[in-house]
Amino acid sequence: MSEKRKLIIDTDCGSDDAVAIAMALHDENYEVIMITTVCGNVPIQQATENTLTTLEYSNTYFPDVYRGCDKPLLAPWKGSRDTHGDDGMGDLGFHSTRLKAREGHAVLKILEALRENEAGSIDIVTLGPLTNLAMAIRLERDTVLRARRVVVMGSTGLGHGNVTPAAEFNIWQDAHAARIVLEAGFDDLMLVGWDACLGDAILDEREIEMIRNSSELGRFCIDSNRVLMSLNKRRFGRDCLDMADPAAMAAALYPQCIDRCERYYAEIETAEGPSFGSVVLDYYGFTGQSANVAVCSKLKSAEFREYLFRTLGVNK
């Protein structure tokens, strides 16, 4: 690729978001033009602070960071303390010593960037609830459709939920926003399901140690995920890391690592009840509706690792 592709990352920066952001910043084919924050894993102020900390540890270049929506559109904020800790980063006191967020609202800044750049020149990757993107669509849908593609870490893929039997956290935390995004009419919208980071994509103890011992950034990436690791010990019975946001980032920036991705017509369940926040995929085409989304449900584990290790600077 001769010219770098422009990328906006929208994040509720918890510990796996941090790894994904570090990966993108080290990908020489992309320029992260801004990072926008959203309430999700942690409140907006903490998500913003964690993003700045991640920029500092990544120590590459320093895209502008803008604070976005501080609540889901309608649903109550629940957060994910059990997955990422109170501060979203394993409660180890990681914080930025010198960086500050810029003035201006994330939603307006996303629109500004899409308006000012040529249509089809910006990719968006979302790593948290879709509140900011939905707000941008509500304000200026045509402007948002100028994005070349949107890749969302969200949905259960073809598998099961991680916050309820039926739902994955990012979609569930703001299901109304997810519905707006799915109904917006994107030509190229991909959901990377939680199942894409499971199975062979899960990092084992040896790989975790390799990353931790590789550099200060490696240590930050692993230690900040310590609460996730203890959750995994309980739910998977071993020390391991499921890297949801890194899986989405890899699928977005290094599509060679995608093993399974198909297009479907999908709807978001927003009615209260056991299926709230689930993505209902029309797998067999019952509705007769045209596909509105691609769903990535599996990564090639070797390619995913190669990209993850390369961008984090880990020598195997």
Which one of 63-71, 165-173, 181-189, 295-303 is the stretch in contact with ligand BDR (CB under 6 A)? 165-173
Nearer to ligand BDR, 63 or 246 (CB): 246
Nearer to ligand BDR, 86 or 118 (CB): 86
Which one of 13-21, 179-187, 206-214, 247-255 is the stretch in contact with Ca ion (CB under 5 A)? 13-21
Q: Which of 79, 88, 128, 161 binds Ca ion (CB under 5 A)?
A: 128
Q: Exposure string (b/e) for 266-276, b if CB count within 10 Å is 16 or more?
A: bbbbbeeeebb
CA-CA distance, 93 to 281, in Å (whole number)?
Answer: 41
Give the count of residues interacting with ligand BDR (CB under 6 A).
16
> How far, in whole angstroms, is CA 118 from its chain's centroid?
24
**Does 169 interact with ligand BDR (rule: CB under 6 A)?**
yes
**Does 85 interact with Ca ion (rule: CB under 5 A)?**
no
**Does 90 interact with ligand BDR (rule: CB under 6 A)?**
no
**Does 17 interact with Ca ion (rule: CB under 5 A)?**
yes
> Two tokens at 25?
């910043």
**Does 177 interact with Ca ion (rule: CB under 5 A)?**
no
Nearer to ligand BDR, 10 or 267 (CB): 10
168 and 273 in contact (C-beta within 8 Å)? Answer: no
Report in angstroms how near the CB of residue 119 gets to Ca ion at its nearest.
28
**Does 144 interact with Ca ion (rule: CB under 5 A)?**
no
CA-CA distance, 110 to 34, in Å (whole number)?
Answer: 8
> Two tokens at 184?
């917006």
Give the count of residues interacting with Ca ion (CB under 5 A).
5
**Does 232 interact with ligand BDR (rule: CB under 6 A)?**
no
CA-CA distance, 16 to 167, in Å (whole number)?
Answer: 18
| Residue 71 identity | K
Nearer to ligand BDR, 127 or 299 (CB): 127
Over 224-287, what HEC string results? Answer: CCHHHHHHHHHHHCCCCECCHHHHHHHHHHCHHHEEEEEEECEEECCCCCCCCCCEEECCCCCC
Binding site for ligand BDR (CB under 6 A): 14, 16-17, 41, 80, 83, 127-128, 153, 162, 168-170, 194, 244-245
